[in-house]
Structure 1
C-alpha cells in the first residue's frame, strides 16, 4: 500500500489519470490524497468530480476556495464566471448528487499514524493541532447542514484576520475558511493578510508566507501538505511543509508525492503539447 498526495487538479482529468497511471495506482490497496480545488479553470471539472467520487474510500480530499465557490454558484449566491468553465457541471443531470457529495467533504485531513495534516491553503501559525481540528470541524458541520447557503453567503470577506478563541458565529467560520482555503501571507504575529498574492521574494515587508512563521503543528511532529499557491511551483517551503500545486491548469504540471519514500512524480499539462 502506498499513500499518494496530489496538488490542485482544477478540472485536469487527463493529467490526473495519466499521473495515477505512472505509479499503477490501485484503489483497492493505495490511498490518494488531493489538496482541493478539484474544479474550475481546467476543461473537465464535471468528470473530475465523477472520477474522484467514484474512488470511494480510497481517496481523501479537502475543499479548496474554488470548490467552495462552485457550491456558492450552485446555491445561487455567487456568479458563474465563464473563465471557471463549470457550466457543464452545473447543468449535468447528476449535479445535485455531486454537489451534495462535495459539500460533505472535509476542509482538513489528519492522519495520526503518518503524522500528516492536509489543508488546501495551510494551517494558521496561531493554531495548534487541536484548534485546527476544532475550527475545521465547525466549518464542515455547517457545510453539511441545511443552513449551508447562509454560511456560503457570509464566507466572502477578509475580516476578521486575527485568531481569538472568543470569535464566534459567522466571523469565526469566515476566519477559519480563509485560513484553510485562501491564506498565503501573514504578519509576524500570525495575523492574516488576504491581499498580497506576490511571490515571496516580492512581497512587501513585514509579510511572510504562513509557512515561514513558527508552526505549532510542525513543532508537534506533523507534516503539512497544501496546494493553492501555484506560483511557488512546489519550492521554497521549510522541512515538513510540502506545497504540491504546480499550476497544471495554467500550463504547468500536476505533481504527486509518494509519502513512503518522498518520491515526486509529475505530469505535464496537455496545454504544453
Structure 2
C-alpha cells in the first residue's frame, strides 16, 4: 500500500492515466492525493472528472481555482473564458451529478504529518486552523444557497487575513489563499498578479512557504498551482505543478519515501496561462 500525490492535471486525462500506469497504481490498496485543478485548459476535462469521481474511494482531491471556476460558470456567475475547455462537462448528460460531486469536495485535507491544499496557506495559519477555516468554506459551498456564496467570493480584497473578518469577506480570503496564492508580502498580504518563477519575485515579497515563522512548518504541505515554479520539494513543502498542460511534465510523489515519478505530457493545446 502506498500514497501518491499528483500535481495539477487540468484535463490532461491521457497523461494522467499514463502516470498511473507508471506508478502501478492499484485502487484496491493504494491511495491518491490530487492537488486540485483536475479540469480546464487540457483537452479531456470531462473524462478526467468522471474518472476521479468514480475512483472516489481511492482518491482524495482538494478544490483548485479551475475547479471552482467550473462551478462558477455552472452557477451563472461568470462565463467561459477564451482558454476554457469545460464546455463538454456543461453539455454532458451527467453534468448535474458530476458538478454536485465536485461542489462537495474538500478545500483542504490533512493526515498525519502531511497536508493537502491547492495553492498554499497564509503564514499565521497552522494546519489545525487551516482545517477549521476550510470547513467553513466547504459548508458554504455545500449549502442550498451556494449560488449566492459563489456570487460573493470573486475578488482580490481583502488580500490579508484577520480573525475578525466575517461573512463573505472571510470566505473570500480563505478561498483565495488556498486556491490562488503564490507570494506574500512580509506583512502577509497576497499578491495575486505574480505568476513568475522564484528569480522574478518582486522586492518585498516571498514565496508563501518561505514566510518567516510560518505556522504550518510542522507539516509537509502538498500543493500545486504554481506552474512556473515547476517541481519544488523541500523539507516542509512539495509543490507538484510541473506544467503538464504546458507540454512539460505531470508529477507524482510517493509520500512514504518522497520518490518522484514524472511523465512527459501531451502536445500543448493552450495559449495563455490561468
- Give the structure-1-normalised TM-score: 0.95
Contact 2:183–2:190 (Cα < 8 Å) also in 1: yes
CA distance in 2, matches of 1:257, 1:238: 12
Deviation at 1:217, TM superposition (A): 1.1
| Contact persistence 1:212–1:238 (CA under 8 A) | no
Cα separation, 1, equivalents of 2:182 and 2:30: 31
Give me the whole-angstrom Cα distance separating, in 2, the residues matched to 1:20 and 1:204: 37
CA distance in 2, matches of 1:156, 1:226: 22
The equivalent residue for 1:23 is: 23
- Superposed, which structure 2 residues align to 1:27-176 within 5 Å? 27-112=27-112, 115-176=113-174
Question: Is the 1:89–1:95 Cα contact (8 Å) retained in structure 2?
Answer: yes
Alignment RMSD (CA, Å) = 1.1
Deviations 1:76-130 (A, max 9, x none): 1111124111111110000000000000000001002xx1111000111121223
Correspondence for 2:222: 225
Task: Structure 2 unaligned segments of length 5 or more: list them.
Answer: 269-274
Alignment partner, residue 259 of structure 1: 255
Q: Distance in 2 between matches of 1:238 and 1:58?
A: 26
* Kept after mapping to 1: 8 A contact 2:62/2:106: yes
Number of paired residues?
A: 267
Report the TM-score, using the length of structure 2 for normalisation: 0.95
Instruction: Summarize deviations over 1:119-160 as a string: whole Å, max 9, x none.
Output: 000111121223211110001000111111111111111111
Determine the C-alpha separation between the residues in 2 that align with 1:224 and 1:100. 27
Q: What is the rounded CA distance, in whole Å, between the counterparts of 1:80 and 1:161 in structure 2?
A: 25
Alignment-derived partner of residue 210 in structure 1: 208
Q: What is aligned with 1:7?
A: 7
1:194-232 CA distance string (max 9 Å, x none): 2222222112110111011132111xx211010000011
In the alignment, the residues of structure 1 paired with residue 196 and residue 240 of structure 2 have an alpha-carbon distance, to the nearest angstrom, of 18
Report the Cα distance in structure 1 between the residues aligned to 2:22 and 2:127, rounded to whole angstroms. 34
- Deviating runs (4+, > 3 A) in structure 1? none
Secondary structure of the corresponding residue to residue 56 of structure 1? coil
Q: 1:49–1:98: 8 Å Cα contact kept in structure 2?
A: yes
Counterpart for residue 175 of structure 2: 177
Tell me the SS of whatever aligns to 2:267: helix
